[in-house]
Amino acid sequence: MKIKAEGYCRRKAPTFSQTVIFVSVLSLFWCMATIAENNYIGTALEKRWNLIENFEERGVDAVPLLEDALDSDSALVRRTAAHLLVRIGEPALESIETALDNEDFEVRIIAMEGLAEFGLLPQYWATILTDQHPSVMRYVRFRLMNTYVDYIMLGELMDTFFQVYREGSAPVRENIVKMIIEVSPPTEQTAAFLQEAAEEEESDEIRKHAFEVVIEPTIERLRQLSAQEDWATIVDEFGEEDFSIWPDTPTRDIGGVESTSEVAEAHYLRGCAYYQLGKGEKANADFKQTLHRHPEGGGGAQRRFWAAVLRTKGANYRNNLEDLEQAAEVYFRVYATGASPSRRLNPVMTAMSILRDIGGHERAIAMHEEINAGSLSASWAIRMINDHALTLSEMGRKDEAIAKYEEALKIDGMSSGRKESIKEAISELQ
């Protein structure tokens, strides 16, 4: 069956002459555009050279001409004029100020760079921070802040940051927050700014940064005062600080040594201050927070930290709260930390001594049974078995006590003095 093409292909292909005419017209337009562009570039280059010649010949007297050129319709001319004004320096300051409001963002950046080089950045900081062009904001954040703004200047500029942030648009506020987070020193002023920004933006991320800014100087101050045993100052300066709202900071590896959680450390150091000052309840509250916020186990530094916290917490129960039974239980927990023998076994011995004093012999025996004396070094095994025997002796279980003493005598490396002491104890029980 034949299908007619008529009706389906109504357009006729252009003739050869029509094609030639179309291509010729298109080429003409292209040539005209190229000539216009070349003329424009040529004119811009000529104006640029005129500016440079005027600058070289007239110096400061060329400032009015250069300022007029900032409004040129050629970006090349505008930016050349801006560069030349910056080269002239402070005599061209008013013109450079004018450039801060130029429609060309590159001209504004050139002016900012000049002001920074002149050391005049603080005077124009409010104007610079309100510039919303993305390229300018990146320049301010990564170039100006990192190259020209030191910690002293930043501290002086913080009020300006506050003012611009409160009055600025959303992009300006976001850029200011990023700059503060990236380069500001860890001061209370910085923290206050970020806390305000966190509330304004309802941002948990900014709130976290605000706390991180607070943590570093606080921890350093606490460590310093603790090393000086200036417990009263710790309480005066940080007694009202709510460490519990600080974000969790993971343990870090510094120089191959694991560090403790900074939040836990803050609670611990303040707790030590309360303990030393006899404020048992407050010390206990901080020690509880310390153990809650610091992961149990981990490397050697973390185990030592846990052991230290439990030892001090036990001492607080014993000396301040006068809860001897609880003190013994806390001391005994040190054994499970995995810290070195001296750090974990001395508190255990203290726990058993306390229990004997308060008549808790059964609990002391239970603790002994949890400890495998055979796994300890000779010196510690002897001490632990002797203590076990002493507890049994006080309970009237003489045969068991004698058996423990005899077990201790079988351990190699015992001093002659200790042997005599144990033999005397056995004689008294027989």
Is 53 within a domain?
Answer: yes
Please report whether residue 156 resides in a domain: yes
What residues are paired with 257 via a beta bridge?
254
Tell me: do 91 and 58 sit in the same domain.
yes
Residue 132's contacts (CB-CB under 8 Å, 6 or more residues apart) are 169, 171, 172
Give which of 285, 245, 277, 284 is closest to 263, Cα–Cα: 245
* Element of type H or E holding 317: helix 300-319
Per the domain annotation, does 49 fall within a domain?
A: yes
Residue showing tokens 């301010």: 140
Do 102 and 146 have their domain in common? Answer: no
Sign of CA dihedral 141, 145, 146, 148: positive
Q: What is d(CA 107, CA 83) in angstroms, rounded to the nearest whole number?
A: 8
- CA angle at 305 for the pair 300 and 308, rounded to the nearest 5°: 125
Residue 421 lies in a domain: no
Residue span of the structural domain in which 60 resides:
33-118
Can you give the CATH number for the domain in which 113 is found? Answer: 1.25.10.10
Number of separate domains in the chain: 2
Question: Does a structural domain hold residue 312?
Answer: no
8 is written with which tokens?
A: 């389906």
Domain end, chosen from 185, 208, 224, is at 185
**Domain for residue 38, yes or no?**
yes
Assess whether 108 and 127 both reside in one domain. no
Token pair 């990564």 is found at: 142
Q: pTM above 0.85? A: no
Q: What string of pLDDT tens digits covers the 430 residues of the chain? A: 444 444 444 555 666 565 556 555 565 555 544 444 444 344 667 777 777 887 788 888 888 888 888 888 888 888 888 888 998 988 889 999 989 999 999 999 999 988 888 888 788 888 888 888 989 888 887 787 777 766 556 666 777 877 888 887 888 888 888 887 777 666 667 777 777 787 777 777 777 777 777 777 788 889 999 999 999 999 999 998 888 777 665 544 433 334 557 788 899 999 999 999 999 999 999 999 988 887 665 566 777 888 889 999 999 999 999 999 999 999 999 888 777 787 888 898 999 999 999 999 999 999 988 888 878 888 888 889 899 989 999 999 999 989 988 888 888 878 888 888 888 888 888 7
Task: Point out the domain boundary residue: 118, 142, 171.
Answer: 118
